[in-house]
Amino acid sequence: MSMKLFDTTLRDGTQREGVSLTAEDKARIARELDSLGIHYIEAGFPASNPKDLEFFEGFDDASLCYAKLVAFTRARRPNGRAEDDPAVTLLPSLSAPVACIVAKSWKLHVEKVLRTTPEENLESVRDTVAYLAGKEVIFDAEHYFDGFRDDPAYALAVLRAAAEAGATTLVLCDTNGGTLPTELKAVVARTVLEFPDVEVGIHTHNDSGCGVANALVAVESGA
């Protein structure tokens, strides 16, 4: 089995209370992560954070020996176009060779948070992934396990939209951190069967204390 490690210290890690990293801090941490042999380093959300943009504009990713630098963004706004959305159009100008796109995979959030239709959400995913096709695209399916529990066909349709548009990896996110290992393992196994030609990744949160266990059973199931 081949397994790749995707480190989110420089994005998710900076959301913790009391943590504030400068661009220089991020550069030092990125080099330390690279020295450990990490495969992907998600270094921030440049469209939403000026310090993250400063880091991406000033850091030479060619200085990394092992890791690929990843820039994070969201899918384009509903009823718009990727080519008009600054959160999307910023990424091609950055030297980071990998883009990580997050989008909703739970109908509840599509309709109540984004206030759009399930069909428009799928189009947003397709449009954004296709626009960034010049980079390696990793797709983060936010609240995937909640979405799968609610409507498996739609959660899988979101992944399919990303894969058909060119995403190389589909990451299943337990964003609430509330899925227990037995259920998570079954959902991952089903998802892996649906996408035999695309990498499937796992991103578990630890709200219920199951983050490590969930990651391990996901790998056992093919993530």
Q: What is the CA radius of gyration of the chain?
A: 17
Per-residue pLDDT band for 15 (boundaries 50, 70, 90) equals confident
In tens, the pLDDT along 29-62 reads 999 999 999 999 999 999 998 989 999 999 988 8
**Residues 210-218: what's their mean pLDDT?**
97
- Our CA dihedral for 27, 29, 32, 33, rounded to 10 degrees, sits at -110
pLDDT > 90 fraction of the chain, expressed in percent and rounded: 89
pTM, entire model: 0.94
So what's the pLDDT on residue 79? 95
> Sheet holding 40-42: strands in order across?
6-7, 40-42, 68-74, 98-104, 136-142, 169-174, 199-204
Lowest-confidence region among 10-24, 74-88, 99-113: 10-24
- Residue 33 token pair: 């992560």
pLDDT in tens, 52-102: 999 999 998 889 999 999 999 999 999 999 999 999 999 999 999 999 999
Cβ 172 vs Cβ 141: under 8 Å:
yes
What pLDDT, on the 0 to 100 scale, is given for residue 191? 98
pLDDT at 2: 83
According to the model, what pLDDT value does residue 10 have?
A: 93
Compute how many other C-beta atoms are within 10 angstroms of the C-beta atom of residue 160.
17
